[in-house]
């Protein structure tokens, strides 16, 4: 699935990935969907001035395992941020809710533990068609949005840690459609 960056292409110019090293974790479960999310994230990084050599791209068996892998990447001193990409579809049981809750809580805890942004790029859809629409289809690409969030949050935390008295509002955070 190819990425659809038209909605967010102007946002890439508002942020800079230049000099950042970002880990991307791509779940292998619902591979077609996650490959589309990953393509979008990579395109967004490159379009924001990032260097392809500064992407550490790894795979996860499923969305549940994203947490451990995200923590391992975020603990590396050469990684500035992580983008976790997956897809969980609603089934006949409540299993999807337990997975999504665990992943969301796990990723935020890893962010708190490491102090590094970990973007939540996990689709939580009812149908595979909804997921396709959000992985480079008619609804855009949540992989692009997750990468923009990771870059923006990284730049903001860098400014704060550098002692900046005023951190400029980031155009990505202000104007994005959700």
**Which residues belong to the active site?**
95
Which is nearest to 79 in space by CA: 100, 110, 102? Answer: 110
Query: Phi and psi at residue 69, in whole multiples of 5°?
Result: -70, -40
Concatenated DSSP letters for 89-128? E--SSSHHHHHHHHHHHHHHHHHHHH-S-EEEEEEEESSH
Instruction: Count the neighbouring beta carbons within 10 Å of the beta carbon of residue 114.
Output: 18
Consecutive H or E run containing 174:
helix 171-175
């Amino acid at each position: 699935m190819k990425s659809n960056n038209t909605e967010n292409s102007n946002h890439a110019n508002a942020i800079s990935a230049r000099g950042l090293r970002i880990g991307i974790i791509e779940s292998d479960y619902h591979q077609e969907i996650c490959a589309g999310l990953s393509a979008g994230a990579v395109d967004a990084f490159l379009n924001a001035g990032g260097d392809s050599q500064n992407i550490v791209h790894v795979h996860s068996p499923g969305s549940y395992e994203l947490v451990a892998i995200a923590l391992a990447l975020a603990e590396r001193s050469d990684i500035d941020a992580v983008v976790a990409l997956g897809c969980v579809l609603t089934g006949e049981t409540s299993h999807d809710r337990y997975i999504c809750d665990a992943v969301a809580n796990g990723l935020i805890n890893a962010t708190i533990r490491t102090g590094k942004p970990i973007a939540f790029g996990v689709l939580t859809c009812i149908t595979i068609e909804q997921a396709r629409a959000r992985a480079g289809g008619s609804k855009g690409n949540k992989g692009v949005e997750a990468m923009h969030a990771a870059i923006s949050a990284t730049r903001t935390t860098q400014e704060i840690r550098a002692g900046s008295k005023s951190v400029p509002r980031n155009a990505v955070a202000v104007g994005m459609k959700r």
